[in-house]
Amino acid sequence: MNRRRAFYVFLSVLALFLLGTVVVLSSVTYYLAIDPSAYLSELEVPYLDNSTRWNPADHGEVQRIPRIIHQTWKTETLPARWSGISRACREMMPDYEYMLWTDASSREFIAEHYSWFLDTFDDYTYAIQRADAIRYFVLHYYGGIYMDLDIGCLRPMDPLLIYPVILPKTIPVGVSNDLMFAEKGHPLLEQTIHNLVTFDHSWILNYPTVMFSTGPMFLSAQYGLYTASHPTSAGTEIRILPKSLYGKNAKPEEAPHSFFSHFYGSSWHADDAAFIGFLGTWGKGLMWFGLL
């Protein structure tokens, strides 16, 4: 009899959990929806091969994003599996400055330029949170392009530098923080670095904590907040890189004009499986709860 009761309790909890999931996912989908006019279309971006350079001024355009590539790693020595990918990008765009942010230089940079954030930075539980946070600060301070180490370059990024901010679309909703373009001091980044303090909460498990405090869900929330309070920004200032130009989770024939290749070593986040992983973790937790 008790077992039967436990089973019904388990079923009810499961039903509530599923209902909650549907409500959360549909509201997240609603609030994090990307305005169709925000997507960069392939027609807006000239298609160049990997050895053709493009100078905005020659086309009557203004370069907004400085030619700086930012990457992060624990130390100055990139792991062998990613060093070639990173080097190939720098060789393709030798005029781009390269800044590698190590654990030590990241902390020094925050202490020097954003000392109000140093306590939060030092107090993060997970190293990934620091690796996430530093990319928003260096983009705010210098501008440029932040790229995870597992992203490779297929053609020079020159034509993308005329937009103030570009973020890649991720699955199922929102934007990713593994590749970000920004001009120096853009107000979206200003909002983002300040909200790191507000969003610094623990969600008990490592995955949701990282996702919502510093990672892609955090950035997606910043995008949603910013575009809601600056309604014209989606179509003009902050452009979204569609799958066809971002290339992530796309077969080569689906994204022949992609600027990037992806090695899915996932240096920091297994981010596209994020929600599934998150639900999986909670699902397992609930199963244990049900079994108790």
Ligand X SMILES: *[C@@H]1O[C@H](CO)[C@@H](O)[C@H](O)[C@H]1NC(C)=O
Residues in contact with ligand X by CB under 6 A are 50, 88, 92
Rank residues 94 and 231 by Cβ distance to ligand X and give the closer one: 94
Minimum distance of ligand X from residue 261's CB (angstroms): 9
136 neighbors 59 (Cβ within 8 angstroms): no
Distance in angstroms (rounded) separating the CA atoms of residues 55 and 162: 10
Minimum distance of ligand X from residue 257's CB (angstroms): 13
Minimum distance of ligand X from residue 52's CB (angstroms): 10
Rank residues 185 and 256 by Cβ distance to ligand X and give the closer one: 256
Rank residues 88 and 279 by Cβ distance to ligand X and give the closer one: 88
254 neighbors 146 (Cβ within 8 angstroms): no
Distance in angstroms (rounded) separating the CA atoms of residues 37 and 135: 26
Minimum distance of ligand X from residue 180's CB (angstroms): 23
Minimum distance of ligand X from residue 88's CB (angstroms): 6
Rank residues 20 and 84 by Cβ distance to ligand X and give the closer one: 84
273 neighbors 202 (Cβ within 8 angstroms): no
Rank residues 92 and 250 by Cβ distance to ligand X and give the closer one: 92
Q: Using DSSP bridges, classify how beta strands 151-153 and 260-262 pair: parallel, antiparallel or unpaired.
A: antiparallel
- What three-state secondary structure class fits 97? strand
Distances (CA, A) of 178 to 20, 148, 168, 215: 29, 5, 8, 9
The strand pairing partners of 69, in sequence order, are: 98, 145
Backbone dihedral angles phi then psi of residue 182, each to the nearest 5 degrees: -155, 145
Backbone dihedral angles phi then psi of residue 235, each to the nearest 5 degrees: -85, -15
Residue with tokens 């499961």: 14
Minimum distance of ligand X from residue 97's CB (angstroms): 19
Residue at shortest CB range from ligand X: 50
Distance in angstroms (rounded) separating the CA atoms of residues 101 and 99: 6
Minimum distance of ligand X from residue 256's CB (angstroms): 11
Rank residues 68 and 88 by Cβ distance to ligand X and give the closer one: 88
- What three-state secondary structure class fits 243? helix
The strand pairing partners of 179, in sequence order, are: 147
Rank residues 152 and 208 by Cβ distance to ligand X and give the closer one: 152
21 neighbors 279 (Cβ within 8 angstroms): yes
- Tokens for 74? 């624990």
Minimum distance of ligand X from residue 153's CB (angstroms): 8
Rank residues 34 and 157 by Cβ distance to ligand X and give the closer one: 157
